[in-house]
Amino acid sequence: MGNGSSFDQARTVFLDINGKEEKIIFSRHSSSRDIHELIAQAAGVSRHALISLKDTTGAHVFVSATMPLNSAANPYKVQTKDAGTSSADSDAFQAVLTQVAEQLNRVFQMEETKSHLNQRINLLEKKLEVEGLKSVEIDKCKSEISFIRDHLWDSQKKSLDSNRLSTPITDETKANHRRDVPNYPKYTLSQETVDYLKQPTFDIWHWEPNEMLSLLEHMYHELGLVKEFNINPIVLKRWLLCVQENYRNNPFHNFRHCFCVTQMMYGMIHLCRLWERMGTEDLGILLTAAVCHDLDHPGYNNTYQINARTELAIRYNDISPLENHHCAVAFQILSNPDTNIFANVDKETFKRIRAGMTMLILATDMARHGEIMESFKDKLAIGFDDKNKEHLDSLKMVLIKCCDISNEVRPMEVSEPWVDCLLEEYFNQSDREKVEGLPVAPFMDRDKVTKPTAQIGFIKFVLLPMFETVAKVFEKIDEVMVQPLKKSKDRYEEMKSVEEAQKQQKENTT
């Protein structure tokens, strides 16, 4: 599907606003916010109002350019923040809360252990997810059962205070996320969105944070990871929120980049049918490593960390300080029962998950690019063997590297804004390096680098050789990824020629 012709046409959705029929028309280029504002205008409410859509079955509908089209006979019912909760919903909500309170009272009266308390609350949360959240808004549930999380947090805080991981660069109150009922909506994804999510052409700029969280959640369910690891659905939501909180608001290395890399990994899993070469556990390691690979990135690379002798560089002896830090934050989050999606696996399985994720996240250090690629090529030369663990590990390392730096595989309108974001982050670093008297890399210096010069060499000497090598294992990679990379290189070379011609003309006129 991807960027098919149906996406290029105008799309019409019919609405039921307090019994009055309305309709909105938008294009595939419309963002969720654009569509939200169209609905708000049709409903006669502020564009800042909270709006939700429900289909004829009562299911929430994802507000996006890929929402399922309907007809005038089956309009989506529009609800705003001012729409009251029905008495039936209120009764159901109170019944669930009463049961939670009664269970908790029995727990506290019997002075049960903290571990037992966690198990009880997890069971209640599962029940709330299945039975209660169908009729109760999550934000109300969040406020009403705050006493649950507070009791648990108080007990956890005592142990955390006595045994904290000292990581100066990160905010530990984020990594040690308080127990909370996740507050992003539960969306119904159209089949078009579900299919589009698997494509390398997926436009990651049209999705808001809550929607990205919901799409990541969908990936874990669709790949069978929730079943494989027996993940509590509420814990999965809470973990995703905690991960989001631990990505900083950098120009490039931010939560959208995390989503972008994870979506590409999800796309490659389907494109290459990786389940035919590895087990579900390995797929879970690949996807989770992609989610966590840049946690708490400060926006300044390893070279800066080492030259500036930062605490991270000292902590990790100048060896992949950022990647080691990303791993540390990832497992600090997973050490909290509230945000441990692997809490229900046995010790040996968790040991494999931890080793696999660490290996993959550390592989994203570009200083190791040559070493990792040579090792992979050596294995291809003797014949790649799916049953050989070393061969499979080598493939997984190359796959996460591909996903991490895969922007130029995407369509120009998706990839080019990322170049601007990366250059902004580079320029921030080089400006700081100049002030602090540290070495400045030419490719990061705003006085020397241009967009085409930054990309041509990178595509030619890093991306193309890497993706062409992977295409020897998965033939589809050539058509879907290698060819777009070649077109991207040609486009930047043309852009460079135009810039040089303009520069020469300017010099001639002066």
> Is 256 marked within a binding site?
yes
Q: What is the pTM of this model?
A: 0.71
134 falls within a domain: yes
Give φ, ψ of 297 to 5 degrees: -65, 130
> Is 505 marked within a binding site?
no
User: How many residues are given for the chain?
Assistant: 510
Cβ–Cβ under 8 Å, residues 257 and 208: no
List CB contacts of 205: < 8 A, sequence separation 6 or more. 31, 414, 417
> Is 294 marked within a binding site?
yes
Considering the domain architecture, whether residues 146 and 67 belong to the same structural domain is answered as no
Cβ–Cβ under 8 Å, residues 268 and 402: yes
114 falls within a domain: yes
> Is 255 marked within a binding site?
yes
16 falls within a domain: yes
8-state DSSP, 84: P
Considering the domain architecture, whether residues 9 and 135 belong to the same structural domain is answered as no
Average pLDDT of the residues in 73-92? 65
Examine the fold and report which residue of 345, 375, 408 is the final residue of a domain before the chain moves on.
Answer: 408
Per-residue pLDDT, 91: 53
| pLDDT above 90: residue 188 | no
Considering the domain architecture, whether residues 302 and 343 belong to the same structural domain is answered as yes
Euclidean distance between CA atoms 131 and 123, whole angstroms: 12
69 falls within a domain: yes
Bridge partner residues of 22 (DSSP): 15
List CB contacts of 438: < 8 A, sequence separation 6 or more. 304, 307, 308
485 falls within a domain: no
Considering the domain architecture, whether residues 9 and 131 belong to the same structural domain is answered as no
> Is 11 marked within a binding site?
no
Considering the domain architecture, whether residues 359 and 273 belong to the same structural domain is answered as yes
Confidence of residue 168 (pLDDT cuts 50, 70, 90): very low
Per-residue pLDDT, 33: 73
**What DSSP letter does each residue of 301-353 carry, written as one string?**
-HHHHHHTT-HHHHHTTTSSHHHHHHHHHHHHHHTSGGG-TTTTS-HHHHHHH
Examine the fold and report which residue of 114, 147, 163 is the final residue of a domain before the chain moves on.
Answer: 163
- At 394 the three-state DSSP class reads helix
CATH classification of the domain holding 367: 1.10.1300.10
Per-residue pLDDT, 148: 54
- Comparing 138 with 319, the larger pLDDT belongs to 319
Confidence of residue 176 (pLDDT cuts 50, 70, 90): low
> Is 206 marked within a binding site?
no
pLDDT averaged over every residue in the chain:
84
> Is 171 marked within a binding site?
no
List CB contacts of 492: < 8 A, sequence separation 6 or more. 451, 452, 455, 456, 459
The H or E element containing residue 76 is: strand 76-80
Among residues 97, 150, 89, 86, the alpha carbon closest in space to that of 128 is found at 97
Q: What is the percent of the chain where pLDDT is above 70?
A: 78
> Is 404 marked within a binding site?
yes
pLDDT digits (tens, 9 = 90+) for 316-356: 999 999 999 999 999 999 999 999 999 999 999 999 999 99
Q: Which amino acid is at 121?
A: I
Cβ–Cβ under 8 Å, residues 78 and 16: yes
Per-residue pLDDT, 101: 52
Confidence of residue 2 (pLDDT cuts 50, 70, 90): very low
Residue 228 Ramachandran class (φ > 0 left, ψ -120 to 50 alpha, else beta): alpha
- Centre a 10 Å sphere on the Cβ of residue 86 and count the other Cβ atoms it contains: 10
469 falls within a domain: no
pLDDT digits (tens, 9 = 90+) for 242-277: 999 999 999 999 999 999 999 999 999 999 999 999
Euclidean distance between CA atoms 98 and 24, whole angstroms: 42
249 falls within a domain: yes
Cβ–Cβ under 8 Å, residues 329 and 461: no
Considering the domain architecture, whether residues 215 and 116 belong to the same structural domain is answered as no
CATH classification of the domain holding 16: 3.10.20.90
Domain residues for the domain of 126 are 96-163
List CB contacts of 276: < 8 A, sequence separation 6 or more. none
**Active-site residue, 369 included:** no
Considering the domain architecture, whether residues 196 and 294 belong to the same structural domain is answered as yes
Examine the fold and report which residue of 386, 408, 430 is the final residue of a domain before the chain moves on.
Answer: 408
| pLDDT above 80: residue 104 | no
Give φ, ψ of 54 to 5 degrees: -130, 140
pLDDT digits (tens, 9 = 90+) for 143-156: 444 455 555 545 54
pLDDT digits (tens, 9 = 90+) for 356-378: 999 999 999 999 999 999 999 99
Considering the domain architecture, whether residues 129 and 251 belong to the same structural domain is answered as no
Per-residue pLDDT, 56: 85
Show the tokens assigned to 353. Answer: 């998950």
Choose the weakest-confidence range: 27-31, 172-176, 208-212, 371-375: 172-176
| pLDDT above 60: residue 450 | yes
Per-residue pLDDT, 495: 94
Considering the domain architecture, whether residues 140 and 203 belong to the same structural domain is answered as no
Show the tokens assigned to 393. Answer: 């590990």
| pLDDT above 70: residue 298 | yes
Euclidean distance between CA atoms 267 and 481, whole angstroms: 11
The total number of structural domains that make up the chain = 3
Considering the domain architecture, whether residues 385 and 273 belong to the same structural domain is answered as yes
42 falls within a domain: yes
Q: 253, 297, 326, 391: which one is catalytic?
A: 253
Per-residue pLDDT, 418: 97
Q: What is the percent of the chain where pLDDT is above 90?
A: 62
- At 13 the three-state DSSP class reads strand
Among residues 280, 289, 54, 310, the alpha carbon closest in space to that of 187 is found at 54
Euclidean distance between CA atoms 151 and 128, whole angstroms: 19
Considering the domain architecture, whether residues 72 and 114 belong to the same structural domain is answered as no
Considering the domain architecture, whether residues 29 and 103 belong to the same structural domain is answered as no
